[in-house]
Amino acid sequence: MDSLFLKTLNNEKSNRPPFWFMRQAGRYLPEYRALREKADGFMNLCLNSKLACEVTLQPISRFNPDAAILFSDILVVPYGLGVGVDFVEGKGPILDAVNDKSDLARLNYQVHKTRIESTYDTVQLCREKLSADKVLIGFAGSPWTVATYMVEGGSSKNYVKVKSWAYKDKASFSALIEIIVDATIQHLIAQIESGAEVIKLFDSWAGVLSPKEFKEWVILPTKEICEQLKSKYPSVKIIGFPRGAGPNYIDFVNKTSIDAVAIDTNVCPFWAANTFGKEVIIQGNLDPVSLIAGGDAMLRETSSIIKAMGSRPHIFNLGHGVLPETPPENVERLAAYIYSIDEG
């Protein structure tokens, strides 16, 4: 029998929405911080199958959400392409930048993918340990967002390097995006074959693009990934998250072949529920800061979001990831509140 999560993705309405939280495994949990100390750096934690599986399952034990999401990082794909990736405390990710078309030749997923193959062992371990009613979500960064890190050499405030390349030399930037698309498809297929039932595509920096560029670098690559995955695994469901897309959410929903769309904190849930076609499931979108604040205000906001969805199926989540300052007891209270909807 399908889980509540999968029933919802198949457009079945239930008494309560299934729920999980972006970054539900992370620094806000003391058990995560204890495990992090055992690993020699963040990337090693992601690629240590035993530890990564344990991290993946920590929020299941504590909060009992309807889904677990693989503990990994969107930068494993560049790492699998041969790019040097490091995580520096207080600075975030540092990458050996891909500066222009002359650097494309050094990107080779077939040569370097062995660096990340332990990820699929993690997926298999997690699926073996999860009960049948819990869904395992695999994921990857979407090509545009992954490209921003690869070209900028890490995080950025204005994305000048990556956007300039896309404007000045569209042909070679398209080649970079296609390299990422191909690697992402292979990475996700391996996750599905190892036990992932749902895939999520994180396009965290989709919102920095103009509408024309959004179509080119967000919609078209997402569509290609979805179509390739569905041609091989028609039953696998795909959740897209073009964070910050604003009005571009409409074209994203209509033109990418996704099954569900995650809306960010800035999207009005009433607007989303009345704008997107009923065949697309909406996920979201509690403000992560509301989760920090907790209390009755958090529950009122949660109730408002759920009511906004009306009769349409809905997956409850945040509008972005759980923040490190979040008290775990607030997450516990939120989970208990959502479960109480089923009882009431």
Transcribe 160-193 into DSSP letters: HHHHHHHHH-HHHHHHHHHHHHHHHHHHHHHHHH
* Per annotation, catalytic residue among 28, 32, 66, 73: 73
What 3-state DSSP class applies to 149? helix
Transcribe 236-262 into DSSP letters: -EEEEEETT-GGGHHHHHHHS--SEEE
What pLDDT is attached to residue 343? 62
What pLDDT is attached to residue 344? 52
CB atoms within 10 A of CB 77: 27
What pLDDT is attached to residue 342? 75
Transcribe 25-80 into DSSP letters: SSTTSHHHHHHHHHSSSHHHHHH-HHHHHHHHHHHHHHH--SEEE----TTHHHHH
Q: Is 23 a catalytic residue?
A: yes
* Per annotation, catalytic residue among 2, 27, 62, 182: 27
Question: Checking phi first, is residue 50 left (phi over 0); if not, alpha (psi -120 to 50) or beta?
Answer: alpha
In angstroms and rounded to an integer, the radius of gyration of the C-alpha atoms of the chain is 19
What pLDDT is attached to residue 38? 86
Q: Which two tokens stand for residue 337?
A: 């509140």
CATH of 4-343, picked from 3.40.50.720, 3.20.20.210, 3.40.50.10740, 3.40.50.620, is 3.20.20.210
pLDDT in tens, the chain (344 residues): 579 999 999 999 999 999 999 999 999 999 999 999 888 889 999 999 999 999 999 999 999 999 999 999 999 999 999 999 999 888 899 999 999 999 999 999 999 999 999 999 999 999 999 999 999 999 999 999 999 999 999 999 999 999 999 999 999 999 999 999 999 999 999 999 999 999 999 999 999 999 999 999 999 999 999 999 999 999 999 999 999 999 999 999 999 999 999 999 999 999 999 999 999 999 999 999 999 999 999 999 999 999 999 999 999 999 999 999 999 999 999 999 999 997 65
Q: What is the pTM of this model?
A: 0.97
Give strand pairing partners of 85. 95
* Per annotation, catalytic residue among 36, 62, 115, 333: 36
Q: Would you say 321 and 23 are in contact if contact means Cβ atoms under 8 Å apart?
A: yes
* Per annotation, catalytic residue among 109, 120, 149, 249: 149
Q: Is 27 a catalytic residue?
A: yes
As a whole number of angstroms, the distance between CA 74 and CA 145 comes to 9
Q: Is 312 a catalytic residue?
A: no
The tokens 């089923």 sit on which residue? Answer: 342
Q: Would you say 197 and 186 are in contact if contact means Cβ atoms under 8 Å apart?
A: no
